[in-house]
Amino acid sequence: MKATLLQRNVLWASPQENARLNREIMEKERGTDLFLLPEMFSTGFATSPDGIAEELDEEGECFTLRWMRQTALEMDCAVCGSVAVKEKDGRFFNRLYFVTPDNCFSYDKHHLFTYGGENLRYSAGQERVVVFWRGVKILLQVCYDVRFPVFVRNTLQEDGAPEYDAIIYVASWPAKRVPAWKRLLPARAIENQCYVLAVNRVGNDPVCEYIGGTMVIDAMGNIVDSCPDAEETSISVDLDMEALKRFRSKFPVLEDGDGFCLF
């Protein structure tokens, strides 16, 4: 499976313009199986979501979700990124959508960023979500989730296979904490014997500066490819599932795990 990660600036509270700019970049990468976009890629990371979060209609749709569906269908790919949404009952969620030509999966961010006040306005999700796309089982995660290894623990299923093969992290991770980001991601890959695909934005919002740190890491903790810091750019990586299977077979770490998961 070929994945393309877009490290780009996010225009503040501008879903239509962000969609247009993203599509221009994606058109240059036709043939990709999966496009990854940053956290709250349609608006920027808004801890005060009133007037910024996209309101869901009676069918549970918003502008950006409809754009993701159309793009996935027209480009025969999956599109993944998180969106600030407002439910009909007034609750806000930082919702990660994984949209394919035929389906839409969603994961609501579980670990809300208390330090930045995200927990004051958003509701936390309670369920882990794993999707299967073109031969790869993928766990969906958002930004701050990367600091909590128990939540993502990979376990063997009844058939003896690991629960997932890759973790996606989409983020709006501030520049001053990027050294921690770059250390945490390889740890999640190593301990779970999986690929990690992590995309972070660049640019500025009303509160923070962002310099990226977008990368793909293999199950041994090696950086397969990465974006230069502070540049609007993208990377494309082919996930080698046969190599991952060989490594897991040769070095069966997951078989020696604790055999349980809290989620």
The catalytic residue positions are 39, 109, 143
Q: Write down the residue that tokens 């409809």 correspond to.
A: 66
**At residue 94, what are phi and psi to the nearest 5 degrees?**
-90, 95
Sign for the pseudo-dihedral over CA of 217, 222, 228, 233: negative
Beta strands (DSSP E) in the chain are: 2-7, 34-36, 54-55, 78-86, 92-99, 104-108, 130-133, 136-142, 166-171, 195-200, 202-204, 209-211, 215-217, 223-226, 233-238
For residues 70 and 79, is the Cβ–Cβ distance under 8 A?
no
Alpha carbons 118 and 92: distance in angstroms, whole number: 10
Angle at the Cα of 127 from the Cα atoms of 249 and 48, rounded to 5 degrees:
125
Strand partners, 129: none
Distance, first Cα to last Cα, the chain:
27
Alpha carbons 122 and 236: distance in angstroms, whole number: 32
Alpha carbons 25 and 113: distance in angstroms, whole number: 30
